[in-house]
């Protein structure tokens, strides 16, 4: 399975919408997209993972790396996660305490601006 990645701006927040699998093969695309956004000056980023079917440790590492990069610029990185199997990964790893996790993009965008 591949990873479909789209970015858009919504109310001053960069939204990265993902569909597919985030694994050792597709994670570099996500990493580069986050690096590019932060390089272009984005400080508030929402990663929409509502349509992500699979997430492995490589994908988690990319998200943590993105969070570190954006925090260095005094920004935020929020996630939209709706599937229980993906939420469980964040709970098990303790990353649900590190990332703000929302149920919809609208909630995440509003939370990023708060």
Q: Which domain holds residue 14?
A: 3-109
Cα(53)–Cα(19) distance, integer angstroms: 8
Confidence of residue 56 (pLDDT cuts 50, 70, 90): very high
pLDDT interval class at 114 (50, 70, 90): low
- ∠ at Cα 61 (57, 63), nearest 5°? 115
Element (H, E) at 84: helix 84-93
**Contact, 13 vs 113, CB < 8 A?**
yes
10 Å Cβ neighbour count for 76?
20
pLDDT at 112: 81
In a domain, 99, yes or no: yes
Which CATH number does the domain housing residue 43 bear?
A: 3.30.750.24
Q: What is the pLDDT of residues 70-99, one digit of tens each?
A: 999 999 999 999 999 999 999 999 999 999
pLDDT tens column, 2-48: 899 999 999 999 999 999 999 999 999 999 999 999 999 999 999 99
Question: Within a domain: residue 114?
Answer: no
Domain count within the chain: 1
How much is the pLDDT for 78?
Answer: 97
pTM here?
0.96
């Amino acid at each position: 399975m591949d990873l479909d990645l789209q970015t858009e701006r919504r109310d001053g927040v960069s939204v990265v919408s993902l569909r597919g699998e985030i694994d050792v093969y597709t994670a570099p695309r996500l990493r580069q997209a986050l690096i590019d956004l932060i390089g272009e000056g984005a400080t508030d980023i929402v990663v929409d993972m509502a349509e992500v079917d699979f997430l492995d440790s490589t994908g988690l590492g990319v998200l943590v790396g993105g969070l570190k990069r954006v925090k260095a610029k005094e920004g935020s990185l929020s996630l939209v996660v709706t599937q229980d199997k993906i939420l469980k990964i964040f709970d098990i790893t303790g990353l649900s305490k590190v990332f703000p996790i929302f149920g919809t993009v609208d909630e995440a965008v509003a939370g990023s601006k708060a």
